């Protein structure tokens, strides 16, 4: 990975083996997870999993998400999660499942110096209101799901650049380019000054391809087609 990249790469996942393996990679500057990833990983005891991971990772930020749909219970969970470690960020969804904004809760928690990662943001209106709610009370993340924006056929780069600009007046707010779809997104995030990008293990595997000679890559691709055709025993 080129040394001049300023965007920090955070690993996104809930597989303990993957997390600890990536922890050994100094290019990985932090970690995030969520209830969906944890369910896919077969985790049944939320707190036990989180505390286990935190017993290994103490020197890089890691985010754990609340899972209640009711704001009072979200607040209780957030305060409990925040108490697990100085490197913990609490993920708060931008709304609950009924579409009710979380801004008041975000403001209360930020004012209590809880480090927050506000997640599932997809509109500039949400960016504006989240940034205003966070203010500059504590280190915080504004997590915009650029990959999901791209999934709808919209180029996420202009919105991500606008998000970086809008939040720049708050020194403790860092923007996350969330749900990337390809390795190129790391370089796009870096080009607009986005501070963090969350990357899944499958995308991280492609880091070794950075700077690869394209002619060589072309030949490897042709060889792959040949090998697979022979292995399949195709005839005409």
pTM exceeding 0.85: yes
Widest Cα–Cα separation across the chain: 71
From the candidate CATH numbers 3.20.20.70, 3.40.50.300, 3.50.50.60, 3.40.50.2000, the one assigned to the domain spanning 8-209:
3.20.20.70
Cross-strand partners of 218: none
Alpha carbon of 30 to those of 68, 118, 123, 216, 232: distances in Å?
24, 16, 25, 33, 43
Helix extents (H) in the chain: 16-23, 35-40, 46-56, 71-82, 103-111, 124-134, 146-151, 157-167, 184-191, 201-204, 214-232
221 exposure class (CB count in 10 Å sphere: 0-12, 13-18, 19+): exposed
Block mean pLDDT (10 aa), the chain, length 236: 81 96 95 96 97 98 98 98 98 98 98 98 98 98 98 98 98 97 96 97 89 97 98 97
Domain coordinates of the chain in residue numbers? 8-209
Token pair 């998000």 in the structure block, residue = 163
The per-residue pLDDT for 201 is 86
- Which of these, 105, 165, 116, lies nearest to 142 by C-alpha position? 116
């Amino acid at each position: 990975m080129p040394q001049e990249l300023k965007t920090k790469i955070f690993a996104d996942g809930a597989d303990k083996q993957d997390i600890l393996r990536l922890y050994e990679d100094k290019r990985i500057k932090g970690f995030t997870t969520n209830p969906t990833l944890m369910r896919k990983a077969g985790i049944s005891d939320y707190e036990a999993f989180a505390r286990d991971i935190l017993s290994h990772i103490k020197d890089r930020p890691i985010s754990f998400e609340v899972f209640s749909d009711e704001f009072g219970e979200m607040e209780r969970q957030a305060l409990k999660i925040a108490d697990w470690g100085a490197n913990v960020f609490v993920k708060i969804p931008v709304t609950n499942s009924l579409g009710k904004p979380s801004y008041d809760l975000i403001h209360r928690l930020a004012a209590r110096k809880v480090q927050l990662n506000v997640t599932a943001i997809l509109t500039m209106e949400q960016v504006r209101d989240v940034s205003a709610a966070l203010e500059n009370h504590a280190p915080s993340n504004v997590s915009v799901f650029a990959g999901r924006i791209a999934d709808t056929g919209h180029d996420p780069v202009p919105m991500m650049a606008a998000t970086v600009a809008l939040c720049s007046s708050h020194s403790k707010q860092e923007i996350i380019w969330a749900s990337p779809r390809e390795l190129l997104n790391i370089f796009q995030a870096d080009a607009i000054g986005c501070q963090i990008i969350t990357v899944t293990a499958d995308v991280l595997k492609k880091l070794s391809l950075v700077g690869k000679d394209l002619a060589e890559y072309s030949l490897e691709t042709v060889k792959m087609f040949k090998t697979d055709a022979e292995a399949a025993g195709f005839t005409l």
